Amino acid sequence: MGTVGFWNTVKRGIRQLACRRIYVVAMVIVPVGSALFFLDLLDEGLPLGVPVAVVDLDDSPMSRDVIRSLDAMDVVDIGVEAASYTEAYDLTRRGEIFGFFMIPDDFGKEAVSGRKPTISYYCNMAGYIPGTLSFKGFKTVAVSTSGKMVETVLVSTGMDESGADAVLQPVVIQEHLIGNPWSNYAIYLGNSFIPGVVALMTMLVAAYSIGDEIKCGSSRQWLETARGSIAVAVAGKLFPQAVVFSVIGIFCQSLLYGYMHFPLNGSPLLVVTAMVLLVVASQAFALIFCCIIPNLRLSLSIVSLLGILSFSITGFSFPVQNMYGAVGIFSYIIPLRYYFLIYVDQALNGIPLYYSRWYFAALLTFPVVAMSLLWNLKRACIRSVYVP
Amino acid sequence: MKPCDSIKQRFVELYAVWRREFRIVLGDVGVMVFFFGLPVLYPVVYTLIYNPEVARDIPVAVVDNCRTAGSREFVRMADAAEAISITGYAADLNEARRWMNEKACYGIMVIPEEYSRKIGRGEQAVIPFYVEMSLLLRYRAFLTALTDLSIAAGVQIRQLEGLPSVSPVGNAAIFLGDPTQGFASFVIPGILVLILQQSLILGITMLGGGVAERRRLYGGRDPLAVKAPAAITVMGKSLCYFTLYIPLIIYILVFIPRMFSLPHYGSVTDVLLFIVPLVFASIFMGMALQRFVRERESSMIMFVFTSVIFLFLSGLTWPRYAMSPLWLWVGDAIPSTWGIEGFVRINSNGAALRQSVQPYLALWFLAIAYFILATASKWMEENRKMK
């Protein structure tokens, strides 16, 4: 008996989805379009070639040598040679460069005579990634300039090169980057923002389709189709959406791990399961607000506002562990957080499923919580009056 | 006499549209959420999320295979770094990996058995450090800390061995724009502009959905509309939204950076002058987009996700010099791209308005272009209604 009601509601749900253009846009065009956008935008992985300037006040063979080695670096691209600090600063303020490298007056002379001149470099951190990259390039060149001079002196006094290295840098820390040895930005932005858009659209469509029944006064008919059971009505309505979004989500994953070859060091099956669970948990998350406030306008507004905040509070960019405790705790009510943690464990690091068990469990908790609130939605469905 | 009268008539209409729109906006809770709730709360919420600025005290496990005074001294130095907090000694790499899997640490430092011997012999010692790469902010914090650590350890060891300090050239890094190198100080100024634009677009498209709904209800005409030419209607409404936003602009762009001590080096006058075309461009863009919204609530489905796309197009998270021409063009058409670029330069880099001419002019250009689009779309809608 329940199954007949379920399939009738599913049919009704599919008819509604197919009839309105907005659903096609929200369910297919937006998530797929966003995924293609991100992958094409971040294609390079690292935005190398940061536009920078050099200010060479010395203009000696030695200073030109330093600039040549800066020019040889991939990270920076010396577009202009500024005549003065003021000019370079002006270029920074105009946004034409993200940093500049300054060699002082009499640099060559002072370096040779041991008066320790200072190379200074300015990085515009108002652009975080280019600022950081230019810093990396500048610092490497500044330190190695110093190193090369010492090495020349030491080797000329008869020390071999490895001995000279040891004097220069007695301790070397060798970084091993687990999972993303290229420190590729696209891997981390793509893996967090693309599922984020899928989750956002899933929540919005779920909240919209449920709220719309109440707004249009068709909620009684909806309940009747499900033979009076709100659980069947909700399940029947959300099931077709879940199928569409899961397919879209898995397609996005295939773009990430298949087409782009981003690291997938664990079982693909677990990653796919996580996507399906993310879709279901996101629907449940929206459903919870529909149950608490059975009003299309308000519940959809709340879901929109939280949905867009979830990109920040989930901690893709800034670690949750470093947020204020009272703020960071909210990341744990967002389904996307658990998907992200599963992705890190199962795709990036490829560690045993055991370590991700709680994240899977947490994703399953959302539907359970939503189920326990359905009575309020049912009450609203029965009482629904059409308010234009 | 005649043209003068007609100009007067236009001003009367403009005022009527302005007044009517005021009443519609203030009486609409849904729109008020996006016009006031969002711009008031979001800047505070976002800043609270990012306000700790940097990743501090990230747990790191040590596998010390050397176990000498020298290796322990090195670990103490590592622990003293801002980014690193040593959680404990693991017996071997496997145990440390287990800790990492349990999220008890995000880095593993392995001190090799021959560490002290090598230092004693004057050879170079290599210390492997494993970094968990799920967050690049953490990786960046480690990277800086480890570079400094290796230099500091070098200095100490050379002192111990009585070797002279070896650096004929000093180097000094100066950070502009965001001198603390904090995350909030970097991202919030840009986000503020985006909040301004998106709240306008969401509120205005929702109003447009309301108009469409009323039309359907009353057989093709909106009873709340004031009779006026399309251009006057668009202008009158935009002036209404602009008036409403004046206090919000001051709150978001002047008050918020000061309240949270985010960078605010620019002159307030320059900031306010700069932002006028951004607000108008966003308003007209919202009005041009009203065409696509047939229902109040669908505006949220259609436009909420664009915040993420516009953020990326603006070049804040992914620099514009690394974008393909296609995305540069798309980004050029969005007011927030220029708004963020110009505002960040003025606010964070202390640029004067004359140094931000390009974004400023681009914003005026967009404002005019979207005004024409909005008027044309309004005109077409009215003519369709006539049929």
Cα distances (Å, whole numbers) of residue B46 to A337, B51, B137, B185, B203: 17, 8, 17, 11, 20
Kindly tell me if the per-residue pLDDT of A121 is higher than 90.
yes
Mean pLDDT of B108-116: 95
All structural domains of chain A: 2-43+184-383 (no CATH), 50-168 (3.40.1710.10)
Instruction: State whether residue B359 is helix, strand or coil.
Output: helix
Tell whether the model's pLDDT for residue A169 goes beyond 90. no
> Does A167 sit within 8 Å of B158, measured CB to CB?
yes
**Structural contact between residues A185 and B136, judged by C-beta atoms closer than 8 angstroms:** yes
**Each residue of B42-99: pLDDT tens digit?**
999 999 999 998 999 999 999 999 999 999 999 999 999 999 999 999 999 999 999 9
CB contact under 8 A, A95 and B345: yes
Give the model confidence (pLDDT) of B8-18 as tens digits. 999 999 999 99
Please tell me if residue A141 touches chain B, with a CB cutoff of 8 Å: no
Strands A171-178 and B125-132: parallel
User: Residue B340 and residue B197: Cα distance in Å, rounded?
Assistant: 10
First to last CA, chain A: 35
Size (chain B), residues: 387
Q: What is the pLDDT of residues A271-296, one digit of tens each?
A: 999 999 999 999 999 999 999 998 88
pLDDT in tens, B188-209: 999 999 999 999 999 999 999 9
Average pLDDT over residues A155-175: 83
| Closest-CA residue of chain B to A211 | B297
- C-alpha B119/C-alpha A373 separation (Å) is 66
Among the partner-chain residues A93, A122, A316, the one whose CB lies closest to the CB of B345 is A93
Structure-block tokens of residue A28: 């297919």
- The per-residue pLDDT for B386 is 52
Residue with token string 């749900």:
A13
pLDDT, tens digit, 9 for 90 and up, residues B299-314: 999 999 999 999 999 9
How many alpha carbons fall within 13 Å on the CB side of residue A129?
23
Residue B305's identity, in one-letter code, is F
Helices (H), B219-322: 230-249, 256-259, 268-289, 298-303, 306-313
- Asked if B150's CB is within 8 angstroms of A173's CB, the reply is yes
Residue A143: the pLDDT is: 85
Decide if B344 and A126 are in contact by the 8 Å CB cutoff.
Answer: yes
Q: What residues in A contact B48, CB-CB < 8 Å?
A: 324, 327
Beta carbons of B129 and A174 less than 8 Å apart: yes
Distance from CA of A176 to the nearest CA of B (A): 5
Please judge whether A126 and B348 are an interchain contact, meaning their C-beta atoms are less than 8 angstroms apart: yes
- Token readout for B323 is 């974008």
pLDDT tens-digit profile of A178-215? Answer: 988 888 889 989 999 999 999 999 999 999 999 999 88
pLDDT greater than 90 at residue B387: no
- Alpha helices, H only, A254-328: 268-292, 296-313, 325-328
Average pLDDT over residues A248-268: 95
What's the rounded Cα separation, in Å, for the pair B92 and B89? Answer: 9
Query: For residue B1, what pLDDT band results from cuts at 50, 70 and 90?
Result: low
Residue B268's Cβ-side half-sphere holds a number of Cα atoms within 13 Å equal to 9
Residue A175 to chain B, least CA–CA distance (Å):
5
Give the ipTM of the model, two decimals please: 0.93
Say whether pLDDT at A369 is over 90.
Answer: yes
CB-based contact B297 A212, cutoff 8 Å: yes
Nearest-Å Rg of the Cα atoms of chain A is 29
Site from B206, B301, B345, B354 to mutate, A interface, most A CB atoms within 10 angstroms: B301
Whether B56 sits inside 8 A of A212 (CB atoms) is: no
Closest B-chain CA to A177: B131
Both structure tokens of A306: 């939280």
* CB distance A215 to A244 below 8 Å: no
Asked if residue B335 lies in contact with residue B359, where contact means CB atoms within 8 angstroms, the answer is no
pLDDT digits (tens, 9 = 90+) for A320-338: 999 999 999 999 999 999 9
Mean per-residue pLDDT of chain B: 92
Give the residue extent of every domain in chain B: 2-51+182-386, 58-160
Question: Which CATH architecture best describes the domain B58-160?
Answer: 3-Layer(aba) Sandwich (3.40)
- B282 close to B366: Cβ distance less than 8 angstroms: no
Give the burial class of A161: count Cβ atoms within 10 A of its Cβ; 0-12 exposed, 13-18 middle, 19 or more buried: exposed
Of the given ranges (A149-163, B211-225, B325-339), which has the lowest mean pLDDT? A149-163
Whether B101 sits inside 8 A of A305 (CB atoms) is no
- CA distance, residue B256 to nearest chain A CA (Å): 17
Contact B167 A150 (CB under 8 A): yes
Say if A224 is an interface residue toward chain B (CB within 8 Å): no
Asked if the Cβ–Cβ distance from A119 to B134 is below 8 Å, we say no
Give CB contacts under 8 A, 24+ apart, made by B318-323. B318/A41, B318/A42, B318/A47, B318/A129, B318/A185, B318/A189, B319/A47, B319/A50, B319/A98, B319/A127, B319/A129, B319/A130, B321/A47, B321/A49, B321/A50, B321/A51, B321/A130, B322/A44, B322/A47, B322/A48, B322/A49, B323/A41
Half-sphere exposure in the Cβ direction for B15 (13 Å, CA): 6
- pTM, to two decimals: 0.93
Residue B202's contacts (CB-CB under 8 Å, 6 or more residues apart) are: B34, B38, B286, B299, B300, B303, B304
Q: Please write the tens of the pLDDT for every residue from B147-175.
A: 889 988 988 888 877 766 667 788 899 99
Question: How many residues in total does chain A contain?
Answer: 388
Tokens of B221: 């005409």
Give, in degrees to the nearest 5, the angle at Cα B310 between B134 and A43.
50
**Chain B within 8 Å of A140 (Cβ-Cβ)?**
no
Do A172 and B115 contact (CB within 8 A), yes or no?
A: no
CB contact under 8 A, A132 and B101: no
Alpha helices, DSSP H, located in chain B: 2-26, 29-32, 38-50, 69-80, 93-101, 115-121, 136-160, 183-217, 230-249, 256-259, 268-289, 298-303, 306-313, 325-332, 335-349, 357-386
Residue A287 near residue A210 (C-beta atoms within 8 A) = yes
- H-assigned helices in chain A: 2-19, 21-24, 30-41, 61-71, 85-93, 107-112, 128-156, 161-168, 185-216, 219-225, 230-253, 268-292, 296-313, 325-328, 335-342, 357-371, 374-383
pLDDT of residue A388: 46
Which residues in chain A touch residue B185, judged by CB atoms under 8 angstroms apart?
Answer: 125
Residue B315, φ and ψ in degrees, nearest 5: 90, 5
Q: Tokens for A147, please give them.
A: 């190193």
- State the smallest CA–CA distance between residue B279 and chain A in angstroms: 21
Band (A315; pLDDT cuts 50, 70, 90): confident
Q: Which residue of A has its CA nearest to B136?
A: A317
What residue of B is the nearest CA neighbor of A353?
B101
Mean pLDDT estimate for chain A: 91
Structure confidence at residue B170 (pLDDT)? 85
CB A118 within 8 A of CB B176: no
Determine the pLDDT at residue A77.
Answer: 94
Angle ∠(A119,A120,A121) on CA atoms, nearest 5: 125
Shortest CA distance from B157: residue in chain A = A170
